[in-house]
Amino acid sequence: MECKSIIETLNKINMCFYLRGLLFCLINLVFLSCQSKSHYPAVRNIEPDREVSVKVPAKEAPVKIIFDTDMHTDCDDAGALAVLHALADKGECEILSIMCSTKDPYSAPTIDAINTYFGRPDIPIGIIRKGVYRYSKYTKVIAEEFPNNFSIEDATEAVQLYRDILEKQADSSVVIVTAGYLTNIMNLLQLPSNEGRLSGIDLVKRKVRTWVCMGGNFIGSPARDDLKLGNVNFQFDAPAAYFAIHNWPGELVFAGREVCSEPSGLSIGESLTQVPINNPVRRAYELYFGGAAKNRHVADLVSVLYAVRGLRDYWDIQTNGYMDLRPDMTFAWKFDKDKSQGYLLKKQRDGKPNDSYLESVLDSLLIQSPRP
Ligand SMILES: [Ca+2]
């Protein structure tokens, strides 16, 4: 009798372990299926101890990036492109193409020169023939002094390149990051369907996972932007910004000026004095400052870092609501749980913003040598 009782007890224990194992697998399946649907919530919800218990692939596939930049007035666009190449060298992203959102004829050749320096001279670059033009302190020199073979006459319009590139990608796989004006995004969303090709807006719905947009000041709660701090990315092509943000059909995450530009307090660039003089990003910072490279805000660098790595322990995020943008480019954040917009928030460490930690992460990427 005692022996039978022991066997029954053991059977019950085995059954208990079996059920717990089954429950654990089900939880993992539900978690992983939720993770594949969205860019930012999946990253946001991972706790450090849970990362250990959940079976995730040892190495994630590189994030497919399209970088849309106004490479002309500010040197942080050049810094952001260096960060992007460093992340690509680490296998964390694939740079599908780079779109230029300024008419500056030396902007795309500057992008090509930076790509060439980092060993990727064949990345396609889209240009814009009708859009914003402003004076640059550095693009003409970079375009003329650093190796590149970009021909502005033969270049493809950004909106056409967007279509050509997106059509070839897997569904919901592409992350677009804009670090300048939103002219190209408006043009993409206004692209009509033709000869069996999807319209721009349907292409975005199908192929784009997230748009990361550098712009806006998210001050207060609910956040409001009265433009006292400025917002050049929206203001210099306001109709484009208005159209793009109001008509974007998917996830949209803003990197606001208060977490990465003025007045975030974050700045790097001085370390570029350590990199070789043939590095065009170092030269861009030198020309911008009219001497040695100095620290500059990190708006565009933060935007590409978030686009590739997600939140990690760098930022928090507000995902309840959407940007109610007015034609004059002021906006109010409206709380609404059904919208798929968000904006980055500074993360606290030991009761203080993690500014110096984030600066050190960006700095090591900014000065990373090209892969051999
Ligand atoms: Ca920019």
Directed axis angle between helix 107-117 and helix 76-89, to 10°? 30
In this prediction, what percent of the chain has a pLDDT beyond 90?
82
pLDDT tens, position by position, 139-161: 999 999 999 999 999 999 999 99
Q: Give distance in angstroms: CA of 5 to centre of ligand 1.
A: 74
Q: Give distance in angstroms: CA of 180 to centre of ligand 1.
A: 4
pTM for the complete prediction?
Answer: 0.85
Whether residue 44 has pLDDT greater than 80: no
Q: Give distance in angstroms: CA of 78 to centre of ligand 1.
A: 9
Q: Give distance in angstroms: CA of 71 to centre of ligand 1.
A: 6
Q: Give distance in angstroms: CA of 344 to centre of ligand 1.
A: 17
Structure tokens at 36: 């594949």
Residue type, 38: S
Ligand 1 (ion): residues with CB under 5 Å are: 70, 77, 179-180, 300
pLDDT of residue 31: 39
pLDDT of residue 132: 96
Q: In what order do the strands lie in the sheet with 156-157?
A: 156-157, 125-127, 93-100, 63-69, 174-178, 208-214, 251-255, 341-346, 315-318
Q: Give distance in angstroms: CA of 67 to centre of ligand 1.
A: 11
Q: Give distance in angstroms: CA of 223 to centre of ligand 1.
A: 23
Q: d(Cα 233, Cα 361) in Å, to the nearest integer?
A: 25
Structure tokens at 111: 């992008």
Whether residue 21 has pLDDT greater than 90: no
The average confidence (pLDDT) of the chain is: 88
Q: Give distance in angstroms: CA of 111 to centre of ligand 1.
A: 13
Whether residue 357 has pLDDT greater than 80: yes
pLDDT tens, position by position, 256-300: 999 999 889 999 999 999 999 999 999 999 999 999 999 999 999
Q: Give distance in angstroms: CA of 77 to centre of ligand 1.
A: 5
Q: Give distance in angstroms: CA of 214 to centre of ligand 1.
A: 8
